[in-house]
């Protein structure tokens, strides 16, 4: 009943309040068209913005000759559109103040003047496919508990976390490699110790006529002699 009354009265602001309160995306879409037809650009802009139709928001600002506002919005939400909007802004400003027009920086020419410019472009490309997805109102509490940070900050933090994870993996791999090398070294040392013990026992037979055999060990030296087949004393 309330919707029908507002429609008959062409109360666009009331319809905006109603549709946004109940999360009626279809109603907001229809309201955006109605507002544009009646020249209510403020209502139309809000409708398009809530629907995530940022390109249409920019176009509406340009058509309304609000080019500076379009440039600022592009910088915040559609950085890839900034060069295009800046070109329009320069052309429009040239009519009034040529020096001011020349002072406008284009990120394609001066990316160093735009903080986190490349990150902003990456965020835009990442978020773009999700703009047309409208979660149900029952999920509000889930989204309300998200940290209060911009998408650029979230992207930077995510990137830092990925680097930390990679660093931890590298450290873990280095530790495993070190442990393997230590194990191999211990095996070599054990083998060398066994070989040295075996070499320590040498049996030497000289060419003497009495048939004496000398056995050299690590702890002591013992001799057994045979005299013409008689046991030694």
Backbone phi, psi, residue 208, to 5°: -70, 155
User: Which span out of 130-134, 140-144, 225-229 was modeled with the highest average pLDDT?
Assistant: 130-134
Residue 187 has pLDDT above 80, yes or no: no
- Would you put residue 182 in left (φ > 0), alpha (ψ -120 to 50) or beta? alpha
Residue 216 has pLDDT above 60, yes or no: no
Average pLDDT over residues 81-99: 92
Collapsing DSSP to helix, strand or coil, 80 comes out as helix
pLDDT band for position 87 (cuts 50, 70, 90): very high
Residue 107 has pLDDT above 50, yes or no: yes
Separation of CA 122 from chain center: 10
Average pLDDT over residues 87-99: 92
- What does the alpha-carbon distance between residue 186 and residue 57 come to, in Å, rounded to a whole number? 70
Among 27-31, 91-95, 133-137, 186-190, whose mean pLDDT is lowest? 186-190
The two beta strands, 213-216 and 221-224, are: antiparallel
Average pLDDT over residues 141-156: 72
Computed over its alpha carbons, how large is the radius of gyration of the chain?
Answer: 42
Tokens of 174: 């280095």
Backbone phi, psi, residue 212, to 5°: -75, 135
- Chain position carrying tokens 């040239």: 94
The two beta strands, 202-205 and 213-216, are: antiparallel
The answer to whether the pTM exceeds 0.75 is no
Q: Which of 21, 24, 18 is nearest to 1 (CA)?
A: 18
Residue 220 has pLDDT above 50, yes or no: no
- What does the alpha-carbon distance between residue 233 and residue 34 come to, in Å, rounded to a whole number? 128
Q: Which of 198, 192, 232 is nearest to 212 (CA)?
A: 232
Q: Which of 127, 108, 128 is nearest to 118 (CA)?
A: 108
Q: Which strands, in side-by-side order, build the sheet including 213-216?
A: 202-205, 213-216, 221-224
Separation of CA 180 from chain center: 32
DSSP state of 189: H
User: Which span out of 46-60, 137-151, 158-172 was modeled with the highest average pLDDT?
Assistant: 46-60
What is the sign, positive or negative, of the torsion defined by CA atoms of 37, 42, 48, 51? negative
């Amino acid at each position: 009943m309330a919707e029908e009354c507002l429609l008959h009265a062409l109360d666009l602001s009331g319809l905006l309040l109603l549709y946004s309160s109940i999360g009626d995306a279809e109603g907001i879409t229809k309201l955006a068209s109605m507002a544009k037809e009646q020249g209510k650009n403020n209502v139309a802009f809000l409708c398009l913005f809530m629907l995530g139709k940022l390109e249409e928001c920019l176009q509406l600002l340009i058509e309304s000759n609000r080019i500076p506002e379009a440039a600022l919005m592009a910088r915040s939400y559609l950085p890839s559109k900034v060069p295009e909007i800046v070109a329009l802004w320069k052309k429009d400003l040239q009519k009034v103040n040529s020096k001011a027009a020349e002072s406008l920086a284009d990120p394609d020419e001066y990316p160093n003047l735009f903080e986190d410019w490349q990150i902003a472009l990456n965020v835009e490309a990442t978020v773009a496919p999700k703009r047309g997805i409208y979660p149900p109102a029952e999920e509000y509490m889930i989204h309300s508990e998200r940290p209060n940070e911009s998408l650029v900050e979230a992207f930077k933090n995510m990137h830092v976390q990925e680097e930390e994870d990679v660093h931890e993996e590298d450290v873990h791999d280095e530790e495993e490699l070190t442990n393997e090398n230590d194990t191999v070294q211990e095996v070599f040392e054990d083998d060398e110790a066994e070989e040295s013990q075996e070499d320590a026992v040498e049996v030497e037979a000289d060419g003497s006529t009495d048939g004496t055999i000398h056995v050299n060990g690590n702890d002591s030296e013992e001799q057994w002699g045979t005299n013409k087949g008689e046991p030694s004393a």
